[in-house]
Structure 1
Amino acid sequence: MALHIEDYALIGDCHTAALVGRDGSIDWLCLPRFDSSSAFAALLGDDDDGRWSLRPDDDDATATRRYLDDTFVLVTTWTTRTGVVEVTEFMPFGDRRADLVRRVRGVRGSVPMRQELQIRYGYGATVPWVRQIGHDDAHVLLATAGPDSIVVRGPRLQPADHRHGSRFTVDADSTVDLTLTWYPSHRQPPAPPHVDAVLDETVAWWRHWAAGDATEGRYADAVHRSLLVLRALTHEDTRGIAAAATTSLPEDPGGERNWDYRYVWLRDASLTLAALLAHGFRDEADGWKHWLLRAIAGDPADVQIMYGLAGERELPERTLDHLAGYEGSRPVRVGNGAYTQYQGDVFGEVLAALHDARELGVEENADSWSLQRALLAYVEEHWQDPDNGIWEMRGPRRHFTHSRAMIWAAFDRGVAAVEEFGLEGPVERWRGLRDRVREEIETQGYDPVRNTFRQHYDTDEVDASLLVLPQIGFCKPTDPRMLGTVAAIEHDLRTGPDGLLLRYRTTAGFDGLSGSEHPFLACSFWLVEQYAASGRIEDAERLMDTLVGFANDVGMLSEEYDVEHGRQIGNTPQALSHLTLVTAADAIRRARGEAGPGIRTREAQNDGTTRSTTGEGERAGAPD
């Protein structure tokens, strides 16, 4: 049976990732990419669906774990009755191979170890052809099915009922290496990795990347780890940014709200880019811009809300009926049917992120500005269309206020590109459309009786996504309408003793799904940002302390949090949770007047337009 979600740690090579449980079992690994089919899928079923367990042969052994500083090299220290061992686990970075290394080092005494290996391709559906090809001094096991092969090296594995296992003993100051490498089955097995060399190279690469972040202050550790998580979810070659490393971890255990998040949402990727840019990671902007140009090349009418990691357009959704699901949550889904939806807000998010890049000195080129003009031309034609909204409602399309505000932001950034950066475009037309969208929102997206913005034009319900309006410059955080909206959100959407936010009230029946869900962490981080920006700094820090405390022992956050049972829920690690943690911490630092990253914000003015402002804590050397 799978562990609680917070009991897993991620190791990855920026191509894919494995989830390692506290019990020493790797229960999730897709090869060779995040969105490939899995070789280990016990996370969504049971042991027979694939896993690789490595731990002391002592059921009373205890473990503590940590990452080597600024890396995704996981070190687990096991203490047993006979001694202590360290298990160092990582996926080598930069070798363009799908390798996984598990090094066991004796620390004290003598510790018997055991491993159990069940490789099941195709999300647990396919038992491979397994054979031993090694000799006494080099034990090698091959597992092949269809296009996939895995070679495992280490202590000799013995077969038993369609699985393999071994026992070996590690003494003090001795080391035993176990390695797994995926390769296309039509090729010869690759040579084993040189563990010392790839470990040193992997640690050096992560630490070099992490050195670009100079975050300080109360939440520096949480921000730093969150930035690392965002980079771990960014594909090394394509630069597509996965929304999470998993599929079908439920929003409602036992229910149907189980989705595949291993793809690139334009929204989440844009927001991730903005968070990385604000902390000085400009190379990520160039890589993502190239990904964007490739992915949405062609007719802007064909733009999708999400793509595969390399820009694949077809992401058909299907169910895996042979898998029992995490804690019985079915169906288990791969692919995501939401790729066919229209969500107007993504245009605003993309254009806002690219504008942030301009403001932080990332060079604009003719191709990227041409792309942005093409997107704006499409928005000009379709700005009045209803959509499915940020939460991918599987009901009828509506005029969601958040989506309408992001359409406003798209035109606003187009105007700013011309007025502030001298780029060419029909600025008068964009300005006029920006004003028309604003007028529409202020009349149809606002409820004067409750003094709140609405979830959509046909309801009096509120939605946590309305907290984004001040962040994009549509209104000031202290605008009376915004304060009224916050009060309504606090009244309608807060739950549990810590006051966490639901996305919306599922009982209102707008999303076309049965069941309910738990508080969505990103929404509560948005509330932190709103509190900080509107002067409620103590409230912001109180809620921020609670949210940061939900991270597990290695700093990972999933999508939602079950306040009743005190556990993480949903896909993990969730990019949106981590990026909103970063922006919430930055907002608190600005509110406190502390030195911080070079962040520009779009501030609403009295005439309904916006201007760029820089907080007191702009990083030295940031462009004017």
Structure 2
Amino acid sequence: MQTDDVRQDLADRYPPIADHALVGDGETAALVGLDARVAWACLPRFDSPAVFASLLDADRGGRWDLPVRDLRSSRQHYLPGSAVLVTELTTGTGTLRVTDALLLDGALQPRTSSATGALGRLLEVVHGTVDVRSELRGRDGATVEGSAVPLPGGGDRALHLSSSRDTDRGHVLGAGDRWALTLSWTDEPLDLDPDTLAEALQRTDTAWRDWSAGVRFDGAHADLVLRSAITLKLCDHHASGAVVAAPTSSLPEAVGGERNWDYRFTWVRDAAYTVYALRRIGMVEESDAFLDWVLDAATREDARPDVLYTLDGTFPQDEVEDEEFEGYRGSGPVRWGNGASGQLQHDVYGEILDCAYQHVRHGGTLTDARWDRLEHLGRLAERHHLTPDQGIWEIRDAGRPFTYSVAMCQVAFDRLARLAELSGRADRAAHWRALADDVRADLVDRAWSEEDGCFTEHLDQPGTLDASLLALPLRRVVDAADPRMVATVDAVARKLSPGGGLLYRYLHADSPDGLEGNEGAFVLCSFWWVDNLVQSGRVQEARELFESLAARVNHVGLLAEQVDPTTGEFLGNFPQAFSHIGLISSAVLLARAEADGL
């Protein structure tokens, strides 16, 4: 157990998760702190070994610092409509502006090789003088200078650091002085002087602004919706169309706890929510690419589809614990890979079928071969929909008959019926429609508890409740205005909310998950709460809740997976794509309600 002194020492060595911004290029991403430290980067891809991981071990994790003498304050912002980041460090003698980006040659598009990439850092003194140096250390603690340094797990690939000034010492820069630093993973160093780096940063900014001009939303908090869209694009692997759940691993769901997971993969569950949110705001190309990726990955084999996949659509490596890293603020173990990959989670059938339905509904083709594979998934769901599984929250305990899992199997049957109707397969449509109706009726009957006055977490088990029930109206299983659903929303708010508009996924005392300790409030669940309120006509309540959530974004508009309800600190992997998907969906629903005069 950590003593007060140990906790304070760890807090001093590890900045808040919220004190970071994200830069990326569609192959990988990096976290840059308010102090201009690059604290996280896996190179050359999201799922590559970590080169910088000081968030997981302040001493051994690797980092790129720009320490200045006599730092007084700092602030950070993105350029408008862009993922180019500006950090301003104010000292007792002047102000230094650091502009960071993973450089783009042109428009946002897949690179010809993931081995090619560069992080550019342009330092410029705005006024006064600033004493600054560059300190770059890899994961093994080795200082990276101008010579090539092997890229962890990269074979013959190497990291190259080029600099327009000597990196062996610090420099006192005066107003207008510039310093160009470029870290590249290429066959040859990318050696840029201040002028050429400034031009490269301008091209990168232009590429982002050109892309973000296609985002369509003019409702309340349009700035946060745009920033969420850019953040999702930063989590988008352009070459494959996959979207990583988060670009980080093992940032804890509770400081000092063991709930630390690797999120640098793509969950099938996220897909349907993601493509729906993206399409709503004009990100059609990304939506279609993700749909294609999901359907290809999940329907290429006759076996049961996996829960999550690598960027290439393959099964992740086995989950391993890193014995070298202490974890964020002592939150071990640090994990690479994700053991949830092999779990039984029956909701995956509905997620895939919903993706397929969206694909065809928006003009995609449905070949006989793909129909056969999709119907095979439906038969698997028919066979297993009442058998216990680990559920949407991926418990590491014995399986249970989760209401959400059964509901998503019902979604699978419903979407197969709709697909059959759209494609002229009337006989199959009748079969799947009858099954969908029967399963829905059985679900509603067995999940409803007269004793509790709400739907329950598990079939035939009164007294259990979890926030995944809020997703039932969002997947068209139960209408949001159904009195039983309204009662369930209120029950979730009473039992699972610690206040402040936040919601726990479930209470561990009531719903054991096989792990020790607790966790924070799950951000996405609060947005599901907003959506339910809007769809049931309680629009003013929804607006107030949304406003409270919008106020929780960090200084550059990013959200983590979870929030500590006591302190408001971010927890879990960051930034979390699902949280930003929730923000977009809720903002769109509220804007439509506003347009309807509600």
Task: Give how far 1:584 is off.
Answer: 1.2
Local SS of the residue matching 2:185: strand
1:469 pairs with 461, 465, 472, which one? 472
- CA apart distance, 1:237: 0.5
Query: Which residue does the alignment assign to 2:351?
Result: 349
* Contact 2:120–2:183 (8 Å) recurs in 1: yes
In the alignment, residue 77 of structure 1 is paired with which amino acid?
E
Shift, 1:315, TM fit: 2.5
Partner of 1:177: 180
Secondary structure of the structure 1 residue equivalent to 2:134: strand
1:296 Cα deviation after fit: 2.7
When residues 110 and 364 of structure 1 are mapped into structure 2, their CA distance, relative to the original with a 3 A threshold, is farther
Aligned residue for 1:84, secondary structure, equals: strand
Segment drifting more, 291-300 vs 253-262: 291-300
Partners of 2:272 and 2:369 in 1: CA distance = 18
Q: Is the 8 A contact 1:247 1:260 kept in 2?
A: yes
Task: Determine if contact 2:295/2:355 at 8 Å carries over to the other structure.
Answer: no
Equivalent in the alignment of 2:456: 454
Partner of 1:536: 538
Residue 9 of structure 2 corresponds to which residue in structure 1?
Answer: none
Query: 1:54: which partner in 2?
Result: 66
Structure 2 residue 85 is matched with structure 1 residue 74: yes
Query: Which aligned pairs between 1:233-252 and structure 2 lie closer than 5 A?
Result: 233-252=235-254
Matches within 5 A, 1:99-110: 99-110=118-129
Name the SS of the counterpart of 1:507 in structure 2. coil
Matches within 5 A, 1:339-488: 339-362=341-364, 369-420=371-422, 422=424, 426-460=428-462, 461-488=464-491
Question: Partner amino acid for 1:340?
Answer: G
Contact 2:161/2:181 (8 A) holds in 1: yes
Q: How does 1:6-405 map to 2 (within 5 A)?
A: 6-60=18-72, 62-93=73-104, 96=113, 97-120=116-139, 126-127=140-141, 140-144=146-150, 147=155, 148-155=157-164, 166-183=169-186, 188-192=187-191, 194-362=196-364, 369-405=371-407
Tell me how far apart the structure 2 counterparts of residues 101 and 527 of structure 1 sit (CA, whole Å). Answer: 41
Q: TM-score, normalised by structure 2?
A: 0.90
Contact 2:470 2:529 in 1 (8 A): yes
- Secondary structure of the corresponding residue to residue 293 of structure 2: helix
Supply the distance in 2 between the matched residues of 1:203 and 1:364 (Cα, whole angstroms).
39
* Whole-angstrom distance in 2 between the partners of 1:560 and 1:316: 25
1:371 shift after superposition: 4.3
Change (3 A) 1:301 1:385: farther
On the 8 A contact 1:258/1:332 being kept in 2, the answer is yes
List gaps (5 residues or longer) in structure 1. 121-125, 133-139, 159-164, 596-615, 617-624
Deviates more, 1:418-427 or 1:346-355: 418-427
User: For 1:525 and 1:554, how far apart are their aligned partners in 2?
Assistant: 19
Letter of the structure 2 residue corresponding to residue 19 of structure 1:
L
Alpha-carbon offset, residue 387 of structure 1: 1.5
Compute the displacement of 1:350 (Å): 2.3
Q: Give the structure with the higher percent strand.
A: 1
Deviation at 1:403, TM superposition (A): 1.1
* Matched residue, 2:555: 553
| Alpha-carbon separation, structure 1, partners of 2:589 and 2:277 | 12
| 1:395-450 residue CA offsets vs partner (Å, 9 max, x unmatched) | 11121111111111111111112224546771122112112211221222211222
Aligned residues of 2:274 and 2:287 also touching (Cα < 8 A): no
The separation in 1 between residues aligned to 2:470 and 2:144, in whole angstroms, is 57
Contact 2:138–2:144 (CA under 8 A) maintained in structure 1: no
Secondary structure class of the residue paired with 1:42: coil
User: What is the CA deviation profile of residues 369-413 of structure 1, one whole-angstrom value per residue up to 9, with x for unaligned ones?
Assistant: 454334324323333332111000111112111111111111111
2:583 is matched with which residue?
A: 581
CA-CA distance at 1:490 after TM superposition = 1.6
Distance of 2:585 and 2:485 partners within structure 1: 19
Contact 1:77 1:87 in 2 (8 A): yes
SS at match of 2:509: helix
My pick for the range that moved more, 199-208 or 219-228, is: 199-208
**Is residue 501–residue 549 contact of structure 2 (8 Å, CA) maintained in 1?**
no
Preserved CA contact (<8 Å) 2:295 2:356: no
Counterpart Cα distance in 2 of 1:362 and 1:58: 59
| 1:515-574 C-alpha deviation (Å, 9 max, x unpaired) | 111110111111011111112212111111111111101111001111211211111000
Distance 1:8 1:423, change over 3 A: farther
**SS state of the match for residue 158, structure 2?**
strand
Residue identity matched to 2:161: V
User: For 1:173 and 1:201, how far apart are their aligned partners in 2?
Assistant: 21
**1:602 corresponds to:** none
- Cα distance, 1:182 vs structure 2: 2.1
CA distance in 2, matches of 1:166, 1:407: 62
| Distance in 2, Cα, partners of 1:509 & 1:131 | 48
Identify the residue that residue 510 of structure 2 maps to in structure 1: 508
Aligned equivalents of 1:368, 1:172: Cα separation in 2: 63
Q: Distance in 1 between matches of 2:502 and 2:25?
A: 33
| Separation of aligned partners in 2, 1:286 and 1:537 | 31
Q: Per the alignment, do residues 423 and 209 of structure 1 end up closer, same or farther by CA in structure 2, a change over 3 Å counting?
A: farther
Within 1, Cα distance between the matches of 2:71 and 2:161? 25
What is the aligned residue count? 571
Question: Which segment is superposed worse, 579-588 or 78-87?
Answer: 78-87
Q: 2:514 is matched by which residue type in structure 1?
A: G
Partner residue, 1:600: none
Work out whether residues 47 and 118 of structure 1, in 8 Å CA contact, stay in contact via their aligned partners in 2: no
CA distance in structure 2 between the partners assigned to 1:12 and 1:582 by the alignment: 20
Other-structure match for 1:604: none
Aligned partner of 1:608 in structure 2 is: none
Deviations 1:327-383 (A, max 9, x none): 110111110000001111122122223323433445556665454334324323333
In 2, Cα distance between equivalents of 1:131 and 1:337: 34
- Are the equivalent residues in 1 in contact too, given 2:271–2:294 (CA < 8 A)? no
Paired position in structure 2 for 1:136:
none
Whether contact under 8 Å (1:87, 1:105) holds in the other structure is: yes
Higher mean alpha-carbon deviation, 441-450 vs 525-534, is at 441-450
The residue matched to 2:282 in structure 1 has which SS?
coil
Secondary structure at the residue paired with 1:301? coil
Q: Secondary structure at the match of 1:408?
A: helix
Quick check: 1:15–1:235 contact (8 Å CA) kept in 2? yes
- The RMSD of aligned alpha carbons is 2.2
Amino acid in structure 1 at the alignment position of 2:148 = L
2:322, 2:335 within 8 Å by CA — same for their partners in 1? yes
In structure 2, runs of 5+ residues without a counterpart are 1-12, 106-110
SS at match of 1:39: strand
